[in-house]
A = this chain, B = another copy of it.
Amino acid sequence: MANETNVTWHEHSVSRKEREQLNKHPGCVIWFTGLSACGKSTIANLVDHKLHSRGIHTYVLDGDNIRMGLNAGPGMLKERHGEEFAKRFGIGFSAIDREENIRRIGAVAKLFSEAGLVTLTAFISPYRRDRDAVRASMPAGDFIEVLVDAPLEVCEKRDPKGLYKKARAGELKGFTGIDDPYEAPEKPELVLDAGKKTADALADEVIAYLAKHGKIR
């Protein structure tokens, strides 16, 4: 390396286009948003499965892999990194914590799309401003916002984790739809009627959208 003082860093970078050529499809972000228990994760994982079966390179970001690592809460961070660290960087449920939660997920989803993957995210992401900031961070067309639209009553009736019950009892504060607002997107790329249709049918609607818009072959 002794004579390489003047080389430009990263001159050999593989471009996004080259990564997409290897994958034989473009990268993008499919951003599912909606109330707790509306079906975001179920639908996202079904779409993932269907795309993968077609040989499309995909990845899902959801609570399972984000909250255990990148956006761990103070409790998880405390053990390994100490109290000061956990207090400063742990993600809680205040307004700015939620903002940072979505900001980081958006930044990572962007990296995955630049790597050429069809990237699916499944988070409530209740605030319009936070979702719009993610959209604005990406090239036009990369961010596909999918509203998983189910009435609050339906979601509350499902309540697979008992969260609505806890929120109604006042044991959970700031719960979306109960004592914190859900701001539906004004111009989502796609609206899924998750109060009436099956998850499988809705996953097919997402696939049809992607095919129609040249995101998959």
Contacts and interface: CB of A to CB of B under 8 A. Distances in A.
A169 interface: no
B114 A65 contact: yes
Which of the four size classes fits the interface of chain A? 35 or more
A62 B8 CA distance: 15
B81 A160 contact: no
Contact of A69 (B1, B6, B45, B111): B111
A140 interface: no
Contacts of A61: 111
Nearest to A192: B1
A57 B4 contact: no
A71 to B, nearest CB: 8
Interface stretch (A101-109, A177-185, A206-214): A101-109
Interface of A: 1-2, 4-7, 9-14, 18-19, 22-23, 39, 41-42, 45-46, 48-49, 52, 55, 57-62, 64-65, 69-70, 80-81, 84-85, 88-89, 96, 99-100, 103-104, 107-108, 110-112, 114-115, 117, 133, 137, 150, 154, 157-158, 160, 194-199, 202
